[in-house]
């Protein structure tokens, strides 16, 4: 579980899966043939990725993307678009689920309308429930931190199909921006209630996190916007995120001291971040509302700055 958010952070940056295959049998670099030996191709250009996260607690949560179809006849060759999904398992704590590609649905050209440059354009979506059902997965087969790969395959009226396997590094570049396949990381909705944070400092002078004299506390972000914080008072300066009298202190600077983060009902997403440890003197533990241990930072100085893998799904 300690690697869940490390993997999630890395892969979330790489929202689009790229192919570096330059096989001349694959889609050409221009949609119009330059000579008699060149085949005309077709693309699904990415206009925008409108939501790339899937909430494993909500079957209706959806990956959403706006695509523009382009072929040699300005969209008249489009027969349909097939949507496929596969799982990449990055959470071995619940076992490893083999990749199992499955077709989710077929999208008719009628779903597209003429866009601002005269080409067919549509906002397409795949829900977590649709994708999971298509692959025949149960709740024990996936976990937050896994990746659902969503692929759109373009079928033409002449019988040809273009997708990730026929793409090239030119088509995935800035101009064409047509990778056909996308990564949708899994998150989950947290259980509401009071989460307890126990904190220690081995030197007995409170916390110095991202500042040598105090610094920020552990930050909890709800629904991508609301930020809550908890931390241990420093003996050297007022914490940069609290008034000084509001941070948690037991009087001796060593700990343990206890802080509380309250997660309200209806929270869709929750992420925890540790700002750092200037002198390698800090350790902490995080407990769920039912008292179960969700995360331990280990010995003093063992945990560096970054996301904390706190997962407590509804």
Is 288 domain-assigned?
Answer: yes
Phi, psi of 27 (to 5 degrees): -55, 135
Is 5's pLDDT higher than 90? no
User: Residue 194 burial by CB count (10 A; 0-12/13-18/19+): exposed, middle or buried?
Assistant: exposed
Query: End of a domain among 170, 187, 204?
Result: 187
98 and 236 in a single domain? The answer is no
At 214-226, the pLDDT tens digits run 888 999 999 888 8
181 and 197 in a single domain? The answer is no
Mean of all residue pLDDT scores within the chain: 82
More confident residue, 253 or 76: 76
At 222-244, the pLDDT tens digits run 988 888 999 988 877 765 555 44
Predicted pLDDT at 253: 79
- Identify the weakest region by mean pLDDT among 65-74, 151-160, 231-240, 302-311: 231-240
29 and 96 in a single domain? The answer is yes
Task: State how many domains the chain has.
Answer: 2
Residues 267/190, Cβ–Cβ less than 8 Å? yes
Query: End of a domain among 187, 206, 228?
Result: 187
155 and 211 in a single domain? The answer is no
Query: End of a domain among 171, 187, 203?
Result: 187
- Identify the weakest region by mean pLDDT among 105-119, 153-167, 244-258: 244-258
At 142-168, the pLDDT tens digits run 999 899 999 999 999 999 999 988 765
Integer CA distances (angstroms), 29 to 69, 104, 162, 179, 213, in order = 16, 29, 13, 13, 56
More confident residue, 137 or 13: 137
Is 128 domain-assigned?
Answer: yes
170 and 226 in a single domain? The answer is no
Is 32's pLDDT higher than 50? no
Instruction: Give me the CATH number covering residue 109.
Output: 2.60.40.2550
Non-local CB neighbours of 36 within 8 Å, separated by 6+ positions: none
Predicted pLDDT at 92: 83
Is 35's pLDDT higher than 60? no
209 and 105 in a single domain? The answer is no
129 and 84 in a single domain? The answer is yes
Work out the pLDDT band at 39, boundaries 50, 70, 90: low
Residues 1/307, Cβ–Cβ less than 8 Å? no
Is 115's pLDDT higher than 90? yes
More confident residue, 159 or 309: 159
Is 314 domain-assigned?
Answer: no
Work out the pLDDT band at 15, boundaries 50, 70, 90: very low
Is 313 domain-assigned?
Answer: no
134 and 240 in a single domain? The answer is no
Is 63 domain-assigned?
Answer: yes
161 and 76 in a single domain? The answer is yes
82 and 204 in a single domain? The answer is no
Is 180 domain-assigned?
Answer: yes
Is 15 domain-assigned?
Answer: yes
At 165-210, the pLDDT tens digits run 876 544 433 444 678 999 998 989 999 999 999 999 999 888 989 8
Computed from CA positions of residues 162, 97, 184, 174, in that sequence, does the dihedral angle turn out positive or negative? negative
Residues 50/82, Cβ–Cβ less than 8 Å? no
For residues 135 and 54, give the distance between their C-alpha atoms in angstroms, rounded to a whole number: 15
Residues 104-123: what's their mean pLDDT? Answer: 96
At 101-110, the pLDDT tens digits run 999 999 999 9
For residues 31 and 37, give the distance between their C-alpha atoms in angstroms, rounded to a whole number: 14
214 and 174 in a single domain? The answer is no
Residues 131-135: what's their mean pLDDT? Answer: 97
The closest of 214, 213, 192 to 267, measured between CA atoms, is 192
Expressed as residue numbers, the domain containing 44 is 4-187
Residues 82/108, Cβ–Cβ less than 8 Å? no
Predicted pLDDT at 214: 84
302 and 212 in a single domain? The answer is yes
Is 107 domain-assigned?
Answer: yes
- Identify the weakest region by mean pLDDT among 2-16, 55-69, 134-148, 165-179: 2-16
């Amino acid at each position: 579980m300690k690697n869940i958010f490390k993997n999630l952070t890395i892969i979330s940056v790489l929202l689009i899966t790229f192919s570096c295959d330059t096989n001349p049998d694959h889609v050409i670099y221009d949609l119009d043939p330059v000579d008699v030996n060149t085949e005309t191709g077709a693309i699904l250009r990415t206009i925008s990725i409108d939501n790339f996260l899937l909430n494993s607690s909500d079957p209706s949560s959806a990956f959403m993307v706006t695509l523009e179809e382009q072929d040699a006849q300005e969209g008249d060759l489009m027969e349909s678009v097939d949507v496929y999904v596969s799982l990449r398992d990055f959470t071995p704590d619940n076992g490893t689920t083999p990749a199992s590609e499955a077709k989710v649905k077929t999208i008719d050209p009628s779903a597209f309308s003429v866009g601002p440059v005269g080409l067919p354009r549509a906002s397409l979506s795949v829900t977590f429930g649709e994708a999971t059902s298509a692959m025949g997965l149960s709740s024990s087969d996936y976990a937050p931190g896994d990746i659902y790969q969503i692929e759109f395959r373009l079928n033409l009226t002449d019988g040809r199909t273009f997708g990730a396997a026929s793409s090239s590094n030119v088509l995935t570049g800035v101009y064409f921006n047509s990778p056909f396949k996308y990564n949708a990381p899994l998150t989950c909705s947290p259980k509401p209630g009071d989460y307890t944070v126990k904190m220690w400092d081995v030197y007995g002078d409170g916390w110095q996190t991202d500042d040598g004299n105090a610094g920020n506390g552990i930050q909890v972000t709800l629904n991508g916007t609301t930020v809550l914080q908890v931390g241990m008072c420093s003996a050297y300066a007022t914490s940069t995120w609290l008034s000084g009298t509001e941070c948690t202190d037991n009087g001796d600077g060593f700990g343990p001291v206890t802080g509380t983060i309250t997660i309200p009902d209806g929270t869709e997403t929750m992420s925890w971040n540790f700002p750092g440890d200037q002198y390698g003197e800090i350790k902490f533990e995080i407990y769920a509302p039912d008292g179960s241990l969700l995360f331990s930072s280990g010995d003093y100085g063992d945990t560096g700055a970054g996301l904390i893998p706190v997962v407590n799904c509804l």
